[in-house]
Chains A and B, each alone.
Chain A
Amino acid sequence: MAKYMGKRFLFTILTLILVTIFLFLLTHVSGADPAKIMLGTNATPEAVEAMRAKLGLDRPWYVQYFSWISDLLHGDLGTSYYRDEKVSDLLVKYFKPTLALAIYSELIAIIIGVPMGIMQAKNKGKASSVIISTITLIGLSIPGFLLGLFLMFFFSVKIKIFPVSGYKAITEGFGEHIKSLVLPSLALGLSQAALITRTTNSAMLEVLNSEYIKTARAKGVNEKTILWKHALRNAMIPIITVCGQSFAVLFGGAVVIETIFNISGLGTLVYNSISNRDYSIIQGAVLVIALVYVVINLLVDVLYGIEDPRIRVGGKK
């Protein structure tokens, strides 16, 4: 187990290094000149040159990369091209709403997805299973932003039980906080719920077809225990995987939903930076989200170990 986790950890570091190289290359390949962007279109060539020297952009690319990395390791993500603020400060400020949104969406996705998937597998061949699979398919086909617009139109404009937009921090009262995030979380979480339903269903079906389920039945275990103890334990790995991945997807999807619901989170920050071509912020935000993904995956790996003795004992697979 320790060896397995050590290996996973090393891979994680490697992945992160690759991500930084990738992000670094992206901004370099794009040919965008931060100095020009910062100084605006009317800047004189001399001023741009001076700015480039100040930012260190006149150095060779690998020197720039390593100085960027060493800054990163010190928690310094650079300065925004537009606003006179540190990227790290901005990210911290905008991170919380997105995190809250992602957590609630994930909860919705899991609470709906896992039981639906189990029901679908349990009732295989019955009408209820067909209904669930059809709903799932529809859920996968509705764009989050459309769902968001619809929910907003119905619940905020027509019935008026939820606010149209805006985000309330938890410090402004838990009720308000939840209320402000219900619709965005639904808009974001439902498609993931569909995905989790699908995965849970196919994982359960596969397990229920296996020989050891027959053994369990042959020794007299009742069907309920077979489903919830024997089958679910074994189907856990794909379910955990898809839940972990969906969390990262939610962070990505937040860009659109936050814009619609006017939540000032990472998504909005990225969106606003795009029109300004404020690469330092985009770079920072993407890096943070990649970090979230990687950490979640590491947690998922730990869960694998706890879940599956074949990984825990013997370090195989």
Chain B
Amino acid sequence: MSLLEVKNLKTSFKTLRGMVTAIDGVSFNVDKDEMVAIIGESGCGKSVTSQSIMRLYPETDQSVEYEGEVLFNGEDILHIPFKEMAKHRGNDIAMIFQDALASLNPVFTVGDQIIEALRIHKKITKKEAREEAIKLLEQTGIPDAAKRVDAYPHELSGGMRQRAMIALALSCRPQILIADEPTTALDVTIQAQIMEMIVNLNKEYGMGIILITHDLGVVAQHCKRAMVMYLGQIVEEGDVETMFKHPMHPYTKGLIKSVPTTKTDKDKPLYTINGVVPKLSEAGDGCRFCDRCEHATERCFHECPSLKAAGEEGHNVRCFLYE
């Protein structure tokens, strides 16, 4: 049994146009010690996936509907009462977000926010929690942690804020950490520092990590297994090395080829995927990539392929070309 099993997760939101399905049938597992990446461009549903696992959308006004299962240690946390879910959040599964400045409450000190998290899940005194908070800040590489613990988020630099965010997420030693674009807003040199830290968490504490990103570089450099999402569906998953070298799905192929690396030939035009990502509400019955695909056949427009094993073991692809 995997630590986290997502089975056929489908999330729909209430909009003026009726219910719109943001992700449709997403399934994957995360084991202890494992670092899995979800790759995709904006609007592909990668963030919705992570926030659905955490159930971060307010459910009181029925604006969101979930289908499928999210099994954490075998327990379906997608359908337990909303109130009980709070016990798992932060304690078992924690999350870090892209924009640390917006994600930290501006009116509380960094320390207060960590102490709050600690005291929700653990029975400790304020003083103990404070000491623990300082320790956590030190661990995440914040110099002068005993002083910074009383700083407000706006007083810290971008990199420091992201570290504080990580300290907050680590506070209860969760078994799974979801990192939603943790380095996108940061400069490359700071990016490298933060990624190094996340990789260490995975190695040292055996924390299962779901890395959500649009940056193929970050995935290629740090992850073993990855999933590619397009318009709310996983279109390909597998081992990073194989997938980057021999991508199968036309979208994955295009994505990897269109990103320039320092080895790209300057005199040739870059490979491009035609057209634009369609709107979610415009998705038809067929394969969601059919409008932009070079290999699309009649069938692709009417029937949606399912995610099937192809190539090496553990490699799945959602395309008729490989049936």
Contact = CB atoms under 8 A, between A and B. Distances in A.
**Chain A–chain B contact at Cβ < 8 A:** yes
Contacts of B165: 215
B116 A125 contact: no
B155 interface: yes
Interface stretch (A163-171, A245-253, A278-286, A307-315): A307-315
A218 B107 CA distance: 18
Contacts of A215: 95, 97, 103-105, 113, 165, 168
**Chain A binding surface SS class:** helix
A222 interface: yes
Interface in A224-250: 230, 233-234
Given A217-B89, A218-B95, A211 B116 contact: no
A308 B105 CA distance: 11
B87 interface: yes
A316 interface: yes
| 7 closest Cβ pairs, A-B complex | A125-B61, A219-B90, A220-B90, A211-B102, A219-B117, A220-B89, A212-B105
A212 B100 CA distance: 9
11 contacts: A125-B63, A215-B95, A217-B89, A218-B95, A218-B169, A219-B117, A219-B171, A223-B82, A230-B105, A307-B107, A310-B152
Contacts, number: 98
Contacts of B108: 233
Question: What band does the interface of chain A fall in when counting residues whose beta carbon is under 8 Å from B?
Answer: 20 to 34
Interface residues of B, number: 40
B154 interface: yes
Contacts of A210: 102
B83 A222 contact: yes
Interface string B22-63: 000000000000000000000000000001001010101111
B88 interface: yes
Interface in A140-173: none
A234 B97 contact: no
A125 B13 CA distance: 13
Given A125-B63, A310-B154, A220 B106 contact: no
Nearest to A234: B107
